[in-house]
Structure 1
Amino acid sequence: MDQIEATVTGRVLAVLVKVGDTVHAGDDVATIESMKMEIPVSSDYDGRVARIAISVDDEVEEGQVIIDLGS
């Protein structure tokens, strides 16, 4: 199972996918606010969203798994 990780430490502004959605490498899946900047988080993999481990307003750490992808 591939995992998408937060690229920065910050607060989740938006989750752009839902469980069951298909994503492709390069697709934005979330937006994180860090140091007053909005940072898009994109997938490095193709797959189907199996689990979303974050919600809007959650605080996340860089490297934290935010989405699990299945095939």
Structure 2
Amino acid sequence: MSEIVANMAGSVWKVLVKTGDPVEEGQDVVILESMKMEIPITAESSGTVKDVKVNEGDFVNEGDILVEVE
């Protein structure tokens, strides 16, 4: 299992996947918003989404787990 984590603090602007979705390496899974910029967070490996740990509007810190992929 791999964990997709936030690379900076910000608000979750959009969640692009849900539990059970297949994901490919490099696919955007979450979009963070920080300082009026949209920052796409991508999957580092292919697999299936096991769990989405955040909701749109949540504030996350750098290193927080956003999505688990297996």
TM-score normalised over the length of structure 1: 0.95
The reply to whether residue 61 of structure 1 matches residue 65 of structure 2 is no
Give the 4+ runs in structure 1 shifted more than 4 A.
none
Any stretches of 5+ residues in structure 1 without a counterpart?
none
Q: What is the distance in 1 between the residues matched to 2:24 and 2:7? A: 17
Q: Shift of the alpha carbon at 1:44?
A: 0.5
Deviations, residues 9-66 of structure 1 (Å, cap 9, x unaligned): 0000000001000101100001000111000000111110000000000000111111
Q: What is aligned with 1:26? A: 26
AA partner of residue 44 (structure 1):
E
TM-score normalised over the length of structure 2: 0.96
Q: What is aligned with 1:39? A: 39
Q: What is the distance in 1 between the residues matched to 2:4 and 2:45? A: 8
Identity of aligned pairs, percent?
41
Alpha-carbon RMSD: 0.6
Any stretches of 5+ residues in structure 2 without a counterpart?
none
Q: Shift of the alpha carbon at 1:6?
A: 0.8
